[in-house]
Amino acid sequence: MRWSRCLCCCWPTCSFYLYESGRISSEIELLEIPNVLFTEDYASLGTFFLLFVQLVPAFCLVTILLLVNRVRMPAGLKTFLARILFQLKTWGMAEIFLAGVLVSFVKLMAYGDIGIGLSFVPWCMFCLLQLRTFQCVDRRWLWDDIAPMPAITQPLKVGVTGIRQGLRSCACCTAVLPVDQTVCPRCNSKGTARRKNSLQWTLALLVTSFILYLPANIMPIMITDLLGDKMPSTIMAGVILLWSEGSYPVALVIFIASIMVPTLKMIAIAWLCWNANGNGARDSERMHLIYEVVEFVGRWSMIDVFVIAVLSALVRMGGLMNIYPAIGAVMFALVVVMTMFSAMTFDPRLLWDREPDSSHEEIQQHGNKSGEAKVQKVKNWSPVWIFPIVTALIGAWILFYHYSHQGPEVTLITTNAEGIEGGKTRIKSRSVDVGVVESATLTDDLTHVEVKARLNSGMQKLLHNDSVFWVVKPQVGREGISGLGTLLSGAYIELQPGTKGSVPAQYPLLDSPPLASPDAKGIRILLESSKAGQLSPGDPVLFRGYRVGSVETSTFDTQKRRITYQLFINAPNDRLVTTNVRFWKDSGIAVDLTSAGMRVEMGSLSTLFGGGVSFDIPEGLDLGEPVANKTEYHLFDDQKSIQDSVFTEHIDYVMFFKDSVRGLQPGAPVEFRGIRLGTVGKVPFFIPGLKQRLNDDYRIPVEVRVEPQRLINQLGGDPNIRAHIDDLINRGLRGSLKTGNLVTGALYIDLDFYPKAPPRGKIQEFNGYPIIPTISGGLAQIQQRLMDALDKINNLPINPLLEQATSTLAQSEKTMQHVQTTLDNLNKITSSQSMQQLPADMQTTLRELNRSMQGFQPGSAAYNKMVADMQRLDQVLRELQPVLKTLNDKSNALVFEAKDKKDPQPKGAK
């Protein structure tokens, strides 16, 4: 007792336990828990906690201490305290709260670290000692100590119940009283042999608890706010979560205490009432045992409510994590309270009234020959049923309010539910919570995942036929890194509201966000291709190198066996798409080795690494007309192919070649003197009707297509191309193979006139195809010319030429002998002594010449004298210039005097 007295004073004012997640920590005291519940507008839960965990246990313990220690006080006060003690003893739930604390420890260990405060250990000791104290206190002993009762003088019969002997027991102090005495003289409590309307009260409260049990399990009991994502949780969802996290014992405890115990308790009470009303087999001992078990375990269902109270008070970590109680917790607490009241109002003595010789009516009437009790049936109606009726109305209104404000349910279909969890994954729109995923299950064909989600109330307006859902999670793409915020909070589903159409039965759940919203201004185009993997969602759509849109989706049509790509082109660039545009795959770099040579094209960096699609109007076509949404186009392999696609009209011919067609590919040009007239179709063009033998005259058929649209500028509008070509064939038009590229060996077909070619007359046909005659060309033609040249060389007079060449060689041999003799003589001269001395003599002469030249250097006397002589000579020459001029004018001026001419005088006009 002394230990309990000490612990009762120390636990309320100290830290109870602590919680730390990351660098954020939180701690609480026991007195803070009801304060938090009151603050969160859950006064009912705060009241339950304050009463059942703090006030009732403290009152009971203090009362026991006062009564057991026989503290002096008025007798009436002692009697009052004793009566209150045994009535409130069942409502003390300190040990149940301790179990809830341990369960909350297990739940929080997955999110952070748990620490105990100074008051935790004293509280545990307080709970254990209080529980032991209640077990040690005997009701009869305590009442006998407070107010002893005189012994009963009436002789008692063994094996006969007290009511048969005219006695009853007081339900409060267990005193034995006469049946007709309604007030107990020891505890002053009123009572009768049987509680009036006991079954009606029990059934009414039982029905009330059952009505409350439905919303308690359907509605959430707790809301977890993790990084802004609010995740509601029901009782069963909490059990499943604990089980999935490996906390099997805790999950089992919660399941038994919160689901199994209330359910079995309501079933047991209903069975007791049914048996007490005179139904079923007579087994009073077993029924009484069931009643005692029900009364003992009923209050343990409050463990889940206390877990929520502890978590709500402790997990207060700002924007990181918060836990709030929900309406389901209040409903569940009321279920526990109502089932406890239902068990308390049940009179277990009714179970014995069915036994022989045990009813008060038999003693009074003495007319039952079999000795069986006459059991009175429960009336069908009592005013006490107003209480469950009102509760049912209130519960029905709560359920109606809950479902009417739940919001619409949405079904999403996806191929992979990675990161999606029922009850956790949130649905957001523009970063605002609008719903939550309820479940994710496989479809019946096991090929897709069906995700059931519930939107919040008032979010019906977000759903239309063009609404889009996609999963937001960390992704790395050409646009950068996105979804980093989901690394901590987990993946969520983004909802893009729609504007048109009714709500469909289900929506596709995309793995990545759409590149354009449904209400975005622009146009969507469909491209068809027979090749897969050419484009990917997100690839750019280019117009002359400028990005105007993006590739949205790619799907495979099993019926057409073709790939369909959906493109979105933003406004106002959508006006560029007309009926005459063509789309082609832009791979960033394109290398084309054809008969025309090698062509290399490079695009932007984005298309170089990721590819894309380009479109433009081919050369020669007008702009065309605007197109409607979802217009279909063909996706060409390259830009060159779109230019060829303009020529849709063609006349098919067959050409037979004796030359090798290696290097001639379908699509090669058919040219006339460098002007393209058509395209090679099939190489070779074999058909079942063609039968040839392999010999030196074997010819290979090739299909060619003459395209009249290429000849409009040359021939005018809509000429008779077939007749015109037939006429050209008769005039010598022939086809031949020419080499277009020496590096690749690519060939093309050249059409030209060969006047020496024999006329054909009527044009021949092969299997309905007109035939264009051919001649050998290219390498074969070169080989023929080489053979002709060799034939001409063979016809030349070679023998005379060879004889003359032999004579010339003989004379040349004699000449070479004379030359050899001359070289020998020259060698002797050069090897003589005088010739060997010649270089030394030349060096001596050069040195003397150098010394002589040094005398004429600037500044020397000889140099100065030479300069002076040159100056005098120049002066003399200047003086001789007049004389020389006079002699030039008159050669005899040295003999005769030369006279000066007079200047001419101008004369006037006559």
Q: How confident is the model at residue 189 (pLDDT cuts 50, 70, 90)?
A: confident
Q: How confident is the model at residue 367 (pLDDT cuts 50, 70, 90)?
A: very low
Average confidence (pLDDT) over 691-699: 68
pLDDT score at 142:
83
pLDDT score at 577:
92
Between CA 276 and CA 299 the distance in angstroms is: 23
SS (H, E, C) 177-242: EECCCCECCCCCCECCCCCCCHHHHHHHHHHHHHHHHHHHHHCCCEEEEECCEEEEECHHHHHHHH
pLDDT per residue over 620-646, tens digit each? 678 888 999 889 998 888 777 776 666
The answer to whether residues 336 and 298 touch, using CB atoms and an 8 Å cutoff, is yes
Average confidence (pLDDT) over 40-68: 83
Between CA 15 and CA 198 the distance in angstroms is: 45
Pairing of strands 540-543, 546-557: antiparallel
pLDDT per residue over 87-135, tens digit each? 888 888 888 888 888 888 877 776 677 778 787 888 888 888 888 888 7
Give the strands of the sheet with 24-29, arranged side by side. 24-29, 15-21, 113-116
Residue 344 has pLDDT above 70, yes or no: yes
Q: pTM surpassing 0.85? A: no
What's the whole-number average pLDDT of the chain?
A: 77
Q: Which of 91-95, 192-196, 417-421 has the weakest average pLDDT? A: 192-196
Structure tokens at 634: 């063909």
Residue 425 has pLDDT above 70, yes or no: yes
Average confidence (pLDDT) over 178-204: 78
Q: Which of 343-357, 359-373, 397-411, 657-671 has the weakest average pLDDT? A: 359-373
pLDDT per residue over 276-304, tens digit each? 777 766 677 777 788 888 888 878 888 88
Between CA 553 and CA 514 the distance in angstroms is: 9
Give every CB contact of residue 610 below 8 A, 6+ residues apart in sequence. Answer: 478, 536, 538, 539, 540, 588
Average confidence (pLDDT) over 33-52: 81
Residue 805 has pLDDT above 60, yes or no: yes
Q: How confident is the model at residue 260 (pLDDT cuts 50, 70, 90)?
A: confident
**Percent of the chain topping pLDDT 90:** 1
pLDDT score at 299:
82
pLDDT per residue over 56-77, tens digit each? 888 888 888 888 888 888 888 8
Residue 361 has pLDDT above 50, yes or no: no
Torsions phi, psi of 212, nearest 5? -75, -25
Q: How confident is the model at residue 365 (pLDDT cuts 50, 70, 90)?
A: very low
pLDDT per residue over 587-615, tens digit each? 755 555 555 555 656 555 555 555 688 89
Residue 360 has pLDDT above 60, yes or no: no
CB atoms within 10 A of CB 476: 9
Q: Is 725 helix (H, G, I), strand (E, B) or coil?
A: helix
Between CA 228 and CA 307 the distance in angstroms is: 22
pLDDT score at 412:
92
Calculate ∠ Cα 31-37-40, nearest 5°: 140
Q: From residue 13, how far is each of 43, 424, 624 by CA, in Å?
A: 22, 37, 85
pLDDT per residue over 677-692, tens digit each? 888 888 888 876 666 6
Residue 441 has pLDDT above 70, yes or no: yes
More confident residue, 778 or 247: 247
Between CA 305 and CA 50 the distance in angstroms is: 13
Pairing of strands 229-233, 222-226: antiparallel
Residue 547 has pLDDT above 80, yes or no: yes
Q: Which of 410-424, 428-442, 601-615, 624-638 has the weakest average pLDDT? A: 601-615
In sequence order, what are the beta bridge partners of 454? 409, 436
pLDDT per residue over 486-517, tens digit each? 666 678 888 888 888 888 888 988 887 777 77
pLDDT score at 5:
43
pLDDT per residue over 713-759, tens digit each? 555 555 677 778 887 888 888 888 888 777 777 888 888 888 777 77
Residue 359 has pLDDT above 50, yes or no: no
